[in-house]
Amino acid sequence: MDAFQSHSAEFCANSSRTALTITRPDDWHLHVRDGAILKAVLPYTARQFGRAIIMPNLKLPVTTTAQAGTYRHRILAARPVCGPGSAFEPLMTLYLTDNMSPDEVLRARESGFVYGVKLYLTGVTTHSKAGVTDLYHCTAALEAMQKNGLPLLMHGEVTDPSIDIFDREKVFIDRVLEPLRRDFPSLKVVFEHITTLSAAQYVRDADAAPGTLGATITAHHLLLNRNAILVGGIRPHYYCLPVLKREEHRLALVEAATSGHPRFFLGTDSAPHPKNLKEHACGCAGCYTAPYALELYAQAFDQAGALGRLEGFASFHGADFYELPRATDTVTLERVTWVSPEDIDADSTTIVSFKVGELLHWKLH
C-alpha cells in the first residue's frame, strides 16, 4: 500500500459534495521550460490557472529583465489561441546571481511583468549552476528588492554535502532564512515548495509584518511521503527537490495548507523533464503535475475534510501576497472517478505525467 492508497478509505468516508466551484486559482511556482516542451505543457496549466509565477531556471537562466521579456512572449505564443486558457498570464521572475545590480532590480520592478527574483544556491537543483555562491554577494540587489517591494522567492535548501539531504530545508532556515530576515526585515520572501514540519511551523509562527512572508506547497508533497519513491523498486517520477519527506512532515503540510492561514498558498512546482532523463542512472529531479494539478489539490483537501479551505489556498492567499487582484471568474470541479491522463508528447519527447495511483477523484470541467 502506498502513501496515497492508505488514505483513500478516509477520503470516501468524508466525502459528500459532488461539485465545487471556486474563484479561478493561480499557480505561484511553475516550470514551463522552452521550445517544444513549453508548447506541449503550457495549455494544461492555462486551462486551470489564471496566472502563474514562471521559474527562470532555463538552461540559459533568465537573469535580466530583457530576457524575461522575450521569454514571456514565447510563453504568450504557447497559449491556446482562443477559448479556455487564452487569457492565461505568465508572471515572470529573474534568476538571482552573485552581484546582480540594483539597476537590474529596478528595471525588473518597473517592467510591470517581473514579479519576483528567484534564489537558487548554486548546485541546489535542476539548472542551478549559475546560482548564488553566497547571499552576501547579493546585498545590493536585496536592498533594492526590499526598497522596491520585489519579492525574493527561495529554493529553501542548503547545498552543504555534509548535511543529510532530508535535513537540508531545516538547516536552510537556521543558516540562510533567519539571518536574511533579520538583515532585511521588510523584504517580501516566499519560502518555495516547503516540505517539512520545521518549515511549516517557521512560516506560521514567524514574527513577520503582513505580506512579507509566504510559502508555497505542492500537491505531490501533500499527497505522498517518501515511501512513494521506493515502493517495490525505485520510482524516478516521484523524485523531486526538495525530496519527499516522512509521513509526519506530509501531515504538517496538509495541516498548514488546510489551515486557512494566509501565508500558505498553491505552487505546483510542476517540473517537466524528458522521460529518458527521468528514467536514467542519474535521473533529473522534478514531478510533472501540471496536467491535473488542481484535481490533485482537491483530492488532498478532500482527504483532509477541508474542501472549504481550497479556495483561500488556491485563489486568494497568493494574489494577496503579490498584491495582485483576485480573479473574478470561477472554475468548477466535479466529483467523478476517472483515469489519470496519458503522458504528454512534446515533439517526439515523452513527458511522464505524475500519478497517484491510476484513478483521480475530482475532475475540472
Positive or negative, the CA dihedral 60, 286, 180, 326 is positive
Least distance to ligand NCD, CB of residue 155, Å: 5
Site map for ligand NCD, 77-106, x if CB under 6 A?
------------------------------
Least distance to ligand NCD, CB of residue 321, Å: 19
Give the CB-nearest residue to Zn ion.
Answer: 269
Q: Does 27 bind Zn ion (CB under 5 A)?
A: no
Confirm if 240 and 290 have CB atoms less than 8 A apart: no
Site size toward ligand NCD, by CB under 6 A: 11
53 vs 142 by CB, closer to ligand NCD: 53
Subset of 15-54 contacting ligand NCD (CB under 6 A): 31
Q: Does 220 bind ligand NCD (CB under 6 A)?
A: no
Instruction: State which of residues 45, 57, 196, 289 lies at the interface with ligand NCD (CB under 6 A).
Output: 57
The length of the chain is 365
Q: Which of 2, 26, 34, 269 is catalytic?
A: 269
57 vs 315 by CB, closer to Zn ion: 57
Least distance to Zn ion, CB of residue 271, Å: 6
Q: Does 169 bind Zn ion (CB under 5 A)?
A: no
Backbone φ, ψ for residue 301 (5° rounding): -70, -35
85 vs 272 by CB, closer to Zn ion: 272
Subset of 285-344 contacting ligand NCD (CB under 6 A): 285-286
151 vs 286 by CB, closer to ligand NCD: 286
Instruction: State which of residues 27, 269, 295, 302 lies at the interface with ligand NCD (CB under 6 A).
Output: 269
Instruction: State which of residues 155, 170, 188, 221 lies at the interface with ligand NCD (CB under 6 A).
Output: 155
Q: Where does this chain touch Zn ion (CB under 5 A) — which range of 227-235, 261-269, 289-297, 348-356?
A: 261-269
240's contact among ligand NCD, Zn ion, none, with CB below 5 to 8 A by partner kind, is ligand NCD
Confirm if 260 and 317 have CB atoms less than 8 A apart: no
Instruction: State which of residues 240, 314, 344, 351 lies at the interface with ligand NCD (CB under 6 A).
Output: 240
Instruction: State which of residues 169, 269, 302, 311 lies at the interface with Zn ion (CB under 5 A).
Output: 269
Helix 102-111 to helix 65-77 angle (10° resolution) is 30
Q: Does 26 bind Zn ion (CB under 5 A)?
A: no
Least distance to ligand NCD, CB of residue 274, Å: 11
Q: Does 277 bind ligand NCD (CB under 6 A)?
A: no
For 182, what's the count of Cα atoms within 13 Å in the CB-facing half-sphere? 7
Contacts of 355 (CB under 8 A, 6+ apart): 237, 340
74 vs 363 by CB, closer to ligand NCD: 74
167 is catalytic: no
Do you find a cis peptide bond into 242, omega within 30 degrees of 0? Answer: yes
Confirm if 301 and 294 have CB atoms less than 8 A apart: no
Grid cell listed for 7? 488514505
68 vs 333 by CB, closer to ligand NCD: 68
Catalytic positions are: 269
Residues in contact with Zn ion by the rule CB under 5 A: 269
Residues in contact with ligand NCD by the rule CB under 6 A: 31, 57, 125-126, 155, 240-241, 269, 271, 285-286
